[in-house]
Every structure is written in C-alpha cells, then in structure tokens.
C-alpha cells in the first residue's frame, strides 16, 4: 500500500475516533428515596432504545456513557414507583432521581432480587439478596426477625441446626464466611449462642450474600461474602420505629441534623427474658444488647462522609459461678468522592474488635481473649462507557490476636496470672475487576486480586525437632503433641513467614431467547485466618489464629455453572446452579485436641483438604397476592487429612496413616438434601399470612460402636469420623400479620405479628448421647432437643 494511502486512512480513522468520542456523553447521578433521601442500592437505570443500562452502586451512584441523542430513561426498583423520563443527551448531564414508595404499609412484602432482563444478562451469579422487609416477614423462633435465619431458607445455605451460631455456604465451614457490616469485619454473627443474629433488621438497608463468582474486591475467606449495609438516616424528617417482642424489644430513631445534608441514625435492641427467671427459682441469666449508629454528611455534590458503628454484648451467667461475656465492636469512617461523572471513589478507615471472656468462680480465674483489626480500604469504580466498567483498589489489615489472658479472681485462688502469647499479622491486597458487555448477548466479569500476608514475630515462639510440632506414633497409630526443643523470642519487628497468592476471578453470561441465560464462573480465593473449633457450631470460646510457619493458608478453587430464566415477564424466575469446590490446607485436629487456652496450638493441628459439590434450584413467584419460593439443594461436603511423609535429619522418612486413615469423610455441616418452601399470602389490606417449611438430612455425628471395661467402668469406643447421622430435620413455621385499617392516613402506624415456630411440635435432635440406664443396666440413646412448638407475639410500630 502506498505511503500516502496509509496516511490518509490513519487520518480518517483518527478523525472518526475524535468525532465518535465527541458524540458520546455521560449521564450520571444519585438515586434515593423521596421521603428520606436514603440512597438506594441496585436500582436499574435502563435505556430502552439501546437495550442497555446500568445499576446504582453501594452508595446510590450511577453513570452511563451513551451516543448523543434523545432517550427514554426508565428507573425501576421493586417496591417503588417506576420513573420514566425523556432526555436529550447533547452534553454530560447530572440527573438525580427521587423514588416514591408504591405503598405506605408498615411491612410490604418485597424480594429485592431484581427480575428485569438486565439481571439475566449480567455475568454475576450465585448471589442472594434480601430486603429488611422480606426478612421481617419470615416466621422465626420467638418472633424476632433474623437475617441469618432468613438466608438459610435459600439454596446452598444451611446451619448446624436450632440454636446454632453462624451459617454454612455450599458445604463450607462457618469461619470461611466473610461477614461485613458497613465494610467492617464481624467475627461472631450470633447472639445467645445462635438464637438470634447480631443484625438489627430495622437498621439494615441492604443484604447481599455471594456464594460464588465473588468479585475481586472481596477476599480473605473461601466460602462466601455476606455484605450488609446499614441505613444512612433520614435527612428529611424525624422518624421512629420499633417493636416489642416476647423476649426482646428494639427501637430506632433517625432524622436530620441539617435538612437534606446531614442525618443521624441510632438503634438499639435488648432482650429481657432473664428478668422473669427468678419467678421460677432459676438463678441464671442470659441476655444480649446491641447498638447501631450512623451519621452522614453531604459536603457538596462531589463529597460525602459517613461515620458508622456497632456495639453488641452477650452475657451468660450460671449462678454467678460461670460467667461468659462476648461481643463485637466496630467503627467505620468513610469518604465518598466523585472525581468526575465517570470515576467514583470510597476511602474507608475501619476498626473491628471481637472480645470473648470467661469468669470461672468455682476454679478461681478469669479468662479474657479476642481479636482486633485495623483496616484501610480505597476502592474506585470507573464507568468507562455503557459496555465497560472497571473496579480497582487496595486494602491493608493489621491484626492483633489475643489467645487469652488468665487472671485470678481472688487472692487465695491459687491461680497464677498468665498471658498467652499474642500473635500479630498484616494482610494486604490490590485488585482490579472488569465488567465487560462484549455483545448484546454475551457479557463477562473478570479480574485479579493479589494478596499478601505477613505473620509477624512474637514474644515467644516454640522450635521443634525436624520442624514438626505434631508427632505420629507408628505403634499406636495415633498423633500426639511434640515437645518443643527450644523457645526463641523473635520480637514483633521480624517476620515469621510471608505468603503471596494470585486470585483470578472470571464469570460470564450468555443470553438467548430474551428471557434465558447460561452463566459460568471460576473463583480463586485465599484465607489466612482460621477458626479453631472442634464443634459443629462455633461457640464464643473458639479462637482465631493466623497462618504461619505451621499453618498454611486455605486456598479455594470453585467452579459453577447455571441456567436462569424469567417466566411470564418476571412474574416467576427459575435459577439452577451446579458447583464444585476444592480447598487446600483445611485444618483438622488430632484426637483429644485441647483448643482452649492452648499456647501451642500448632501441636494439635494438621493440614488437610476439603471438597464440596452439588446442585441448587430456586423457583420464585414474585408477583400477585401470593409470593414465595421453593429452594432445594443436593450436595456433599467432605474433607480428609492424609498421612504426611516426613523427612528426618537422619534421612529416614515416615508415612503416616492420617486422620480417618486418610479417607474422605463427611464434614460436620454436610447435608445431602436441603429443602425450603416459603410463602406469603396477602389476603387484604388488614391480614397477611406467611409460612415456611424446612427439611434437611440429619447432620453427621459419631456414635460408639462398642465398649470395654476398665477398672469396673464401661468405656465406649468410636469408629471412623462422622460415619453416622442424626435423624432428619424438619419443621413448619407459620405467622399472621394484622395491620389495623386505622393506619390509613395516620402518622402513627402499627402491626401485630402472631407466629408459631415448629407448628407440629417436631422434637428435632440437636444431639444424641448414650448412657447406662440405672434401672435396667442397659445402654440407651438419649435425644436432646432445643425447641418444640413456640408461639410468640410481636408488636411493631413506626411514626
């Protein structure tokens, strides 16, 4: 090709590019509630002429770049009136929207998963979203609305049973869930050992759980991310709402400090059932309280600041001789800055503290322990055009682990004060995440997270023969704690060990026939913290420990694929997914491991591996008087700890038997079948009814397979781990909500919630123990159940 032709083509291409760039403009703004100025997350902004659109981020901001022209902008969000506006886009425009609620009932039933076609097209999969209103509708024990209890009604999410702490996602352990409240890490999500969660539904703005396809901005846990944002506060007018229940009450107040610019929110909950125990000659106590706070201030159009906090405590007291206190305290200072109509940023300074303590009067000491972290996050979202968005940022977390401090509670207790060795660590990460609509039918989200973890030095560090803190006895085929051969003091300035991991993420969606799509994802995650617990459900006494010289970080590879369909224009939705998870370095414990107040926890830990795979099905009805869903999960969750091949200084090697002879065995949270059915029926403007039915395969356990006599005492012995199961679990919960008709036109509104938990009084087994019958002398099995039928009444109000 002659040189002058090439120059002409380049000039024409450059001219076209400039003209094309000049003809594209950005429409951006913030979307909020008209009545309160509360920003809305996940609002759909659709451009019908181009069959494209976007959604608002966590702070209600949206941005979309389009060719010059006249467009019809459709703004929709379930539970709110749709807004349609025609614009002439001939320059960059800032356009805010104020959405009006569809109805003024106290608790309208809404499912916040958007059912518009744009969701079908998005590559994000394995996500569960619920609104606080939906959570308040679900019948639960003792009538207290609960985030966790509502989430476990959805596929892939379970727990260890009644009165169990935390939750399990796709066969993962409780410590493998990253729980964020306004971006701050929550280490224990339960009140009263799992009867309630720490999240006040009145203070919650948005709940979202990622089970797979986790975006690159999240890291540090290998099973899921539960992200919860608190409300920002009403900057229009003062509002009060609350509730009085059978065992606890709550109150939330919000309002403007400076109208339309500065708002506050403060909410509290407390239980009081313990006040009635003395009437039954019960000299024990069990109660909780928590406090949610938030202040937000709009400096100008481009800058806003937020200060939020949470503080909660639980107390369990048995005759003043056994006292257990535990709880979370978090705070977050955030700064939102808009660099341009295409570039949004958020800087967060976060503090999180989890405290757990014991006072054992009959032994004569107090035990105080906990974990603190200081977190700096900087996240940016760049809206390059309507087809391409980029998220990138960094964060750094500094941890202080206090395994425990033992203090005598009286001068004559005989206990010597002792501080177990504190541990220190730092976790750093940078990430980039891209959302790319390649064609009208194909879109992708792909990114990379680079994480780095430093285990810093400490005051005391044990050294072992052959660097092996766990010994194997080839004659008894058992593991035992190794004795240290030396103790060194590396000091906090040094680094005991560092880890570095690349964590790629990719997901895609292919849409066909308008209302159908196929999605697939791959997720790589690293987890550097471990929860030390040998129970199926965590307790406040469980201790967190960082990765280091003897404990490797957990590494996950998860693959998922699914089929999604909108039926009758979104009146029904069908979601099906299959998944496979492989986890390296899942910790296990030697038989008889002591985890409490253990200053050398590495002596009872072995590194193993885990896997989980399954099928999830979710069929939902989203419109009409009757709404609800059917959720089913078929899955397996297993782990194994094969024998190690150890090389000794002498040149010998030793192959061990491992745990369970190195074979795969069910994890304590493996449930083959998990079926949940939830329904809500709105009879009229006065009465609505809700029900849910749950069926689950019994959780794995261990039963004795025989016994032997030792000095006149019968001693049971057990077989392979988790070989048996508890009986299957099932129950039915129902509730009725009465909204007085006199609410209409009144500022003060109220409702009554009547609920029955476990309506047919199923005595589900929390555990089965074996004992010798005193009369017959024969062994017998004893079932322990937590709840039978539990009726309750709750009164809710707002004004």
Token reading at 749: 């509104």
| Cα Dmax for the chain | 108
C-alpha span between 409 and 368 (Å, rounded) = 12
Question: In Å, how far are 45, 260, 589 from 95, measured between CA atoms?
Answer: 11, 17, 58
Identify the residue with better confidence: 414 or 603.
Answer: 603
For 553-664, strand residue ranges (E) read 554-567, 572-589, 605-621, 626-640, 645-647, 653-655
pLDDT of 795 above 60: yes
Nearest to 323 by CA among 354, 271, 279, 287: 287
pLDDT of 118 above 70: no
Token reading at 471: 């010994």
pLDDT tens-digit map of 305-328: 999 999 999 988 887 778 889 999
C-alpha span between 686 and 69 (Å, rounded) = 48
Choice among 31-35, 41-45, 104-108, 175-179 with the minimum mean pLDDT: 104-108
Nearest to 764 by CA among 673, 695, 703, 691: 695
pLDDT of 161 above 80: no
Nearest to 122 by CA among 564, 578, 525, 577: 564
pLDDT of 536 above 60: no
pLDDT tens-digit map of 196-229: 889 998 999 889 999 999 999 999 999 999 999 9
Q: Determine the distance from the C-alpha atom of residue 74 to the mean position of all C-alpha atoms in its chain, rounded to a whole number.
A: 32
Mean pLDDT of 430-434: 96
Q: What average pLDDT does the structure give for the chain?
A: 85
Which pLDDT belongs to residue 300?
A: 92
C-alpha span between 383 and 206 (Å, rounded) = 23
pLDDT tens-digit map of 616-654: 999 998 888 898 999 999 999 999 988 877 555 555 555
Look at strands 184-185 and 83-89 and give their pairing: unpaired
Choice among 165-179, 523-537, 575-589 with the minimum mean pLDDT: 523-537
DSSP-derived secondary structure letter, 100: P
pLDDT of 194 above 80: no
pLDDT confidence bin for 115, thresholds 50/70/90: very low
CB neighbours of residue 71 within 10 Å: 19
pLDDT confidence bin for 376, thresholds 50/70/90: very high
CB neighbours of residue 652 within 10 Å: 8
The residue behind tokens 């229940």 is: 245
H or E element: which one contains 207? strand 204-210
pLDDT of 62 above 80: yes
Choice among 153-167, 328-342, 662-676 with the minimum mean pLDDT: 153-167
- For residue 110, what are the β-bridge partners? none
For the chain, what percent of residues have pLDDT higher than 70? 91
pLDDT of 106 above 70: no
> Which residue pairs from 763-769 have beta carbons closer than 8 angstroms and sit at least 24 positions apart in sequence?
763/788, 764/161, 764/162, 764/727, 764/729, 764/730, 764/731, 765/698, 765/726, 765/727, 765/729, 766/161, 766/162, 766/163, 767/701, 767/726, 768/701, 768/703, 768/726
CA atoms within a 13 Å half-sphere pointing along the CA-CB vector of 29: 15
Token reading at 717: 């012995």
Nearest to 668 by CA among 195, 173, 211, 222: 173
User: Do 88 and 45 contact (CB within 8 A), yes or no?
Assistant: no
C-alpha span between 172 and 658 (Å, rounded) = 21
Choice among 262-271, 294-303, 320-329, 423-432 with the minimum mean pLDDT: 320-329
Alpha helices in 164-298 (DSSP H): none
Which pLDDT belongs to residue 547?
A: 93
pLDDT of 113 above 50: no
Identify the residue with better confidence: 155 or 588.
Answer: 155
Cα dihedral 467, 470, 473, 474 in deg (nearest 10)? -70
C-alpha span between 33 and 57 (Å, rounded) = 15
Choice among 149-153, 163-167, 561-565, 606-610 with the minimum mean pLDDT: 163-167
Identify the residue with better confidence: 359 or 761.
Answer: 761
DSSP-derived secondary structure letter, 597: T
pLDDT confidence bin for 141, thresholds 50/70/90: confident
The residue behind tokens 């998220």 is: 391
Taken as a whole, the chain contains a residue count of 799
Nearest to 620 by CA among 674, 572, 576: 572
Which pLDDT belongs to residue 215?
A: 94
pLDDT tens-digit map of 685-723: 889 999 999 999 998 988 887 777 777 677 777 778 888
Whole-number CA gyration radius for the chain: 28
- For residue 80, what are the β-bridge partners? 101
C-alpha span between 133 and 546 (Å, rounded) = 38
The residue behind tokens 């998990």 is: 674
Identify the residue with better confidence: 501 or 603.
Answer: 501
User: Do 621 and 629 contact (CB within 8 A), yes or no?
Assistant: yes
Identify the residue with better confidence: 543 or 674.
Answer: 674
Full DSSP string of 23-34: TEEEEEEEEEET
DSSP-derived secondary structure letter, 503: E
């Amino acid at each position: 090709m002659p040189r002058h032709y090439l120059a002409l083509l380049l000039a024409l291409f450059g001219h076209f590019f400039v003209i094309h760039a000049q003809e594209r403009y950005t429409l951006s703004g913030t979307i909020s509630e008209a009545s309160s100025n509360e920003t809305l997350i996940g609002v759909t902004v659709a451009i019908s002429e181009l069959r494209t659109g976007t959604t608002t981020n966590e702070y209600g901001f949206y941005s979309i770049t389009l060719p010059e022209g006249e467009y019809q902008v459709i703004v929709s969000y379930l539970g709110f009136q749709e807004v349609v506006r025609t614009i002439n886009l001939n320059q960059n425009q800032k356009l805010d929207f104020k959405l009006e609620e569809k109805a003024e009932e106290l608790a309208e039933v809404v499912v916040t998963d958007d059912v518009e076609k744009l969701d079908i097209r998005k590559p994000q999969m394995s996500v569960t979203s619920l609104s606080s209103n939906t959570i308040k509708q679900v019948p639960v024990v003792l009538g207290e609305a609960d985030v966790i209890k509502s989430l476990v009604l959805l596929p892939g999410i379970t727990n260890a049973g009644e009165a169990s702490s935390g939750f399990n996602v796709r066969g993962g352990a409780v410590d493998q869930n990253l729980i964020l409240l306004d971006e701050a890490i929550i280490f224990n999500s339960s009140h009263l050992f799992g009867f309630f969660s720490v999240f006040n539904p009145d203070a919650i703005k948005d709940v979202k759980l990622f089970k797979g396809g986790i975006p690159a901005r999240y890291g540090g846990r290998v099973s899921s991310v539960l992200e919860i944002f608190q409300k920002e506060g009403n900057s229009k007018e003062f509002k009060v709402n609350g509730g009085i229940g059978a065992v606890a009450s709550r109150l939330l107040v919000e309002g403007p400090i400076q109208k339309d610019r500065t708002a506050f929110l403060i909410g509290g909950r407390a239980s009081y059932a313990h006040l009635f125990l003395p009437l039954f000659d019960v000299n024990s106590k069990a109660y909780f309280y928590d406090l949610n706070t938030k202040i937000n201030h709009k400096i100008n159009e481009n800058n806003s600041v937020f200060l939020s906090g949470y503080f909660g405590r639980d107390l369990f007291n048995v005759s003043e001789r056994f006292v257990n206190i535990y709880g979370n305290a978090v705070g977050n200072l955030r700064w939102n800055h808009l660099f341009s109509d295409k570039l949004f940023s958020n800087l967060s300074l976060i503090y999180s503290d989890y405290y757990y303590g014991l006072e054992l009067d009959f032994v004569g000491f107090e035990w105080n322990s906990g974990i603190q972290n200081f977190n700096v996050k900087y996240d940016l979202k760049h809206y390059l055009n309507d087809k391409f968005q980029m998220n990138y940022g960094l964060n750094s977390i500094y941890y202080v682990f206090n395994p425990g401090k033992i203090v005598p509670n009286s001068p004559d207790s005989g206990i010597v004060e002792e501080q177990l060795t504190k541990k220190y660590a730092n976790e750093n990460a940078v990430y980039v995440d891209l959302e790319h609509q390649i064609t009208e039918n194909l879109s992708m989200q792909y990114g990379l997270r680079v994480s780095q973890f430093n285990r810093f030095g400490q005051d005391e560090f044990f050294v072992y023969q052959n660097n092996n803190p766990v010994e194997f006895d080839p004659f008894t085929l058992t593991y035992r704690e190794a004795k240290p051969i030396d103790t060194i003091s590396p000091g906090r300035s040094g680094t005991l060990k560092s880890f570095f991991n690349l964590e790629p993420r990719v997901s895609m969606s292919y849409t066909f026939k308008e209302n159908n799509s196929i999605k697939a994802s791959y997720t790589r995650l690293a987890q550097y913290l471990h929860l030390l617990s040998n129970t199926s459900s965590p307790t406040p006494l469980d201790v967190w420990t960082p990765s280091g010289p003897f404990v490797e970080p957990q590494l996950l590879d998860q693959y998922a694929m699914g089929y999604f369909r909108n039926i009758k224009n979104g009146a029904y939705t069908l979601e099906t997914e299959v998944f496979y998870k492989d986890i390296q370095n899942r910790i296990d414990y030697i038989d008889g491991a002591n985890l409490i107040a253990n200053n050398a926890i590495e002596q009872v830990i072995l590194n193993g591996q885990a896997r989980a795979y399954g099928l999830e099905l979710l069929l939902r009805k989203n419109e009409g008087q009757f709404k609800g869903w059917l959720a089913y999960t078929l899955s397996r969750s297993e782990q194994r700890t094969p024998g190690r091949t150890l090389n000794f200084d002498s040149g010998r090697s030793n192959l061990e038997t491992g745990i369970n002879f190195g074979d795969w065995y069910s994890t304590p949270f493996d449930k083959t079948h998990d079926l949940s059915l939830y329904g809500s029926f709105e009879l009229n403007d006065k009465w609505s009814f809700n029900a849910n039915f749950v069926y689950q395969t019994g959780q794995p356990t261990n039963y004795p397979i025989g016994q032997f006599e030792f000095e006149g005492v019968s001693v049971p012995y057990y077989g392979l781990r988790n070989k048996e199961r508890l009986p299957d679990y099932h129950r039915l919960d129902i509730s009725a909500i009465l909204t007085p008709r006199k609410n209409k036109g009144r500022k003060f509104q109220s409702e009554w919630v009547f609920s029955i938990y476990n309506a047919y009084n199923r005595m589900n087994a929390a555990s089965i123990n074996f004992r010798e019958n005193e009369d017959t002398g024969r062994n017998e099995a004893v079932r322990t159940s937590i709840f039978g039928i539990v009726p309750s009444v709750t009164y809710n109000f707002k004004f």
